[in-house]
Amino acid sequence: MKIKMVIKAALALSPAFLVRVARSGHRDATKRLRMAYQVLDPFGPVKPHHELRLSADACHPPVSQIADAFCVGRGLEIGPGDTPYCDPARTEFLDKYGGRYRSPYKIDVVGDADRIPRPDCGYDFVFSSHCLEHMPDTIRTLEEWKRVLKHGGFLVLILPHCERTFDQGRPLTTLEHHLKDYEDKVGTYDFTNWDDFEEHSIKQYDHVWLQDPASRRPDGTIDRDWVVEQGHMHYHVWTQTEIVRVLINIDMKIWYAVDRCEDPQNSFAVVAQK
């Protein structure tokens, strides 16, 4: 009971208080707090985030819990597909393929994720799950998502982990690669990484879209133009460390990162603040 009271009090107080608790003699409380606050800064010490409300057993929290913690106020969810994570009462949904999915919620904006028809600094949060890997120019896309965020707003990214998806075996995309893409202003038909994608990502998984006759050329080979036009290609592959480097490069503050989410388990999460 005493340990529960310590944890409850800590959740409502400052990061400095949490650090003091972690250094105190309450070993059980310390263990539970560490499980509750899976906060990672690859370029500095571990820093608890007092606004993140995760259960004591959430070493690898479900995405819904991360969304509840950071998606507060009025926000935008990019690429919600069939299963949006954010509260529709205070979230706009943007999807390029609005008619493809069977989401119970209306798509408010049908358009590209790197050209959002909304003014600067309009949202308290921007949330995206498994969308950024489909964008050829990662930095330009993230700059656009940052643009529509209010100062102090949170960008919540849920992304496929390169070793737990059909991208397993592909080389990680470095910051230098992203910087070159940005400099070259690459677009949809950038096939720099196509060979890796075809060799690993296509061969290792039975993609539903391969059953579409339009995915093949007359000679039976895969029509890569069709694949990218339909948004099926993963241009880049990462772990949370690579994404953190990209976000720091565009002057975002890293608040939270975890290498595995409970649901879906093929994902990692990174949260950054403008």
* pLDDT of 53 above 50: no
**Reported confidence tier of residue 201, pLDDT bands at 50, 70, 90:** very high
Which H or E run contains 136? Answer: none
**3-class DSSP state for residue 201?**
helix
Q: What is the pLDDT of residue 120?
A: 97
Residue 243 in contact with residue 157, Cβ under 8 Å? yes
Name the least confident of 16-20, 64-68, 99-103: 16-20
| pLDDT computed for residue 142 by the predictor | 98
Q: pLDDT at position 205, please?
A: 93
pLDDT at 99: 64
Cα→Cα distances 244→125, 144, 180, 232, 250, Å = 18, 17, 17, 24, 10
Percent of the chain with pLDDT over 70: 77
What is the structure's pLDDT at 235?
Answer: 98
- At residue 45 the predicted structure's pLDDT band, cuts being 50, 70 and 90, is very low
Strand partners of residue 123: 149
Q: Which of 21-30, 99-108, 218-227 has the highest mean pLDDT?
A: 218-227
The topology (CATH level 3) of 64-161+238-273 is Rossmann fold (3.40.50)
Plot region of 185 (φ>0 → left; ψ -120 to 50 → alpha; else → beta): left
The pTM (predicted TM-score) of the whole model is 0.80
Q: For 111-158, write each residue's pLDDT tens digit.
A: 999 999 999 999 999 999 999 999 999 999 999 999 999 999 999 999
Domain spans of the chain, in order of start? 2-36, 64-161+238-273, 175-229
Tell me what pLDDT residue 126 has. Answer: 98
Q: What is the DSSP string of 206-256?
A: --GGGGSGGGB-TTSSB-HHHHHHTT------B-HHHHHHHHHHTTPEEEE
